[in-house]
Amino acid sequence: MSEEIRLMKGDEAIGEAAVRAGCKAYFGYPITPQNELTAYMAKHMLDKGRTFIQAESEVAAINMVYGAASTGARAMTSSSSPGISLKQEGISYLCGADLPCVIVNVARSGPGLGGISPSQGDYFQSTRGGGHGDYHTIVLAPKSVQEAADLTYEAFSISERYRIPVLVLADGLIGQMMEGVVFKDEIDPASLPPEPFAVGHQAETGRPNRHVTSINLVPEELEKQNIVRFERYGQVKKELTRYEEVQVEDADLVLVAYGTAARVCLGALQDARRKGLKVGLFRPITLWPFPDAAIGRLAGKGSRFLSVEMSMGQMVEDVRLAVNGRAPVDFYGRCGGMVPSEEEVLAEIERILGKRS
């Protein structure tokens, strides 16, 4: 950790963090606002003699990830919202085959081709699986360039520990903005232990056949496989749930927000506190698993909640499930690439707290 602080774009910091985490194979396809990430990997992966492929499509890229991950290599792809939609079939297959990998979504506004400005409209897609079948991916939501780098770095080992793909859900603002960032030590991919499931080198080692697949046509067996996977999800919920709390202890109103929206809420909170309003901030860092127990605890203490999102209201449903009727839950959002301002959120806080008294 002898590193000095560097000024970098979020996209590039994610790339550097992945290289340092020992990512051995990256497969991408251009789309704004994550192009700088693909460009960064093109330069730096090739410089290190690792695999970089600009695939012919997003679908090809995610299936290349499947292939690379099957060999036990640390593999990654990245895209932005419409491109992530195209990858969903592949992500479902990766989950069905229990393969680790890292997928980065530098989200933009939708639906459809939508726009290129920042958005949090992919929350449902990210946290509900996204593709077909019974599964989840682990979803990490950074709020800054530093955290985008840290979470990407860690995503590889988390993914391997549970054999579940990890989705890093950023947005166009985090991808495009520059902040100071300090990187963790570089991991040599050759130093990583071999994966027990990895295919390849069978002739040299004489080991028995290994088969990486998501297909199983025997219902009794497939059900059992899914149940075993869900037991692992239970373990993830216990071990991995992460969040940040700011001044929630005495709060009459807790803002719930992740990523960029949480930065806006922090500013609104500081303005509200200066006006004597008791406002707190709860920021989920893992969107799946969602920190519902921690929110439930706050609901039991009498706080009410305001979910602030860059969407028409998606995470608010998880907040309501966590609160489970014990407190009022309001929503404020902007969408289509609009980012709420600190003043708008403050006005909403004043409206809600005014209404109550």
Partner 1 sequence: MTEKTYMAGFGGQGIISLGEMWVFCAMKEGLQVTFFPFYGAEKRGGVARASVIVSEKEIASPLVTRADSVVIMNQDSVPIAEEVCRQGGLILVNSSLVKKDPDRPDARIIRIPCNEIAERIGDVRIANMVMMGALSKATGAIRLENLEPVLKSFFPEKKHALIPMNIAAVEAGKQAV
Site residues (CB under 8 A) for partner 1?
5, 7, 32-33, 116-117, 144, 172-173, 176-180, 260, 263-264, 266-268, 270, 339, 341-343
Closer residue to partner 1, CB minimum distance, 180 or 200: 180
Minimum CB separation of residue 181 from partner 1 in Å reads 10
Closer residue to partner 1, CB minimum distance, 11 or 292: 11
Helix (DSSP H) and strand (DSSP E) numbers for the chain? 14, 14
Residue in 184, 200, 137, 198 with CA at minimum distance from that of residue 22:
184
On whether the CB atoms of residues 279 and 255 are closer than 8 A, the answer is: yes
Closer residue to partner 1, CB minimum distance, 72 or 118: 118
Name, in order, each residue with C-beta under 8 angstroms of 285's C-beta and a sequence gap of 6 or more: 140, 141, 142, 147, 151, 242, 243, 244, 258
Q: Treating both helix axes as pointing N-terminal to C-terminal, what angle do 145-162 and 10-20 enclose, rounded to 10 degrees? A: 40
Minimum CB separation of residue 94 from partner 1 in Å reads 30
| DSSP sequence for 193-207 | PPPTT--S-HHHH-P
CA angle 315, 319, 321 (to 5 degrees): 115
Minimum CB separation of residue 82 from partner 1 in Å reads 15
Closer residue to partner 1, CB minimum distance, 33 or 110: 33
Nearest-angstrom CA–CA distance, 22 and 318: 34
Minimum CB separation of residue 325 from partner 1 in Å reads 31
Closer residue to partner 1, CB minimum distance, 21 or 339: 339
Minimum CB separation of residue 227 from partner 1 in Å reads 44
Minimum CB separation of residue 205 from partner 1 in Å reads 47
Closer residue to partner 1, CB minimum distance, 23 or 254: 254
Assigned token pair, 29: 């396809």
- Write down the residue that tokens 């005495």 correspond to: 250
On whether the CB atoms of residues 31 and 23 are closer than 8 A, the answer is: no
Closer residue to partner 1, CB minimum distance, 141 or 266: 266
DSSP H helices, 206-258, are 219-240
Closer residue to partner 1, CB minimum distance, 37 or 339: 339
Minimum CB separation of residue 85 from partner 1 in Å reads 20
Nearest-angstrom CA–CA distance, 17 and 23: 9
**Bridge partners of residue 138, in order along the sequence:** 166
Residue in 186, 155, 157, 182 with CA at minimum distance from that of residue 168:
155
Minimum CB separation of residue 86 from partner 1 in Å reads 21
Max Cα–Cα distance, the chain, nearest Å: 75
